[in-house]
């Protein structure tokens, strides 16, 4: 489940960043053809990038902290298993 959440978080970051960048580039291109439409597209791109920074980056930060905790838990479990096994043999 944790890996699924992490995959979704990374996918959302990539999708929102790509969509924001594409809208900004398209906005600049449309700005020279039809200025009001270009400004609207630029604004939409900036809003998407802002949402990306405000909402999704904290989710990714949380997901990576959970990965670190998961790895620490696995390592501690293996260490405890090895220590218990050595104590049983002694």
87, HSE (Cβ side, Cα atoms, 13 Å): 6
Reported as a single tens digit per residue, the pLDDT across 18-59 is: 999 999 999 999 999 999 999 999 999 999 999 888 877 787
The pTM score is 0.63
Q: How many CB atoms are located within 10 Å of the residue 87 CB?
A: 8
| 68 burial via Cβ count (<10 Å: 0-12, 13-18, 19+) | exposed
pLDDT confidence of residue 46: 94
pLDDT confidence of residue 90: 61
73, HSE (Cβ side, Cα atoms, 13 Å): 6
* Angle, in degrees to the nearest 10, between helices 2-33 and 35-51: 160
More confident residue, 17 or 60: 17
């Amino acid at each position: 489940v944790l890996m699924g959440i992490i995959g979704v978080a990374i996918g959302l970051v990539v999708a929102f960043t790509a969509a924001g960048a594409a809208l900004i580039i398209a906005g600049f291109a449309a700005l020279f053809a039809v200025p009001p439409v270009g400004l609207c597209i630029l604004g939409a791109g900036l809003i998407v990038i802002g949402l990306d920074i405000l909402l999704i980056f904290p989710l990714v930060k949380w997901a990576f902290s959970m990965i670190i905790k998961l790895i620490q838990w696995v390592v501690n479990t293996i260490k405890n298993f090895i220590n218990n096994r050595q104590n049983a043999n002694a």
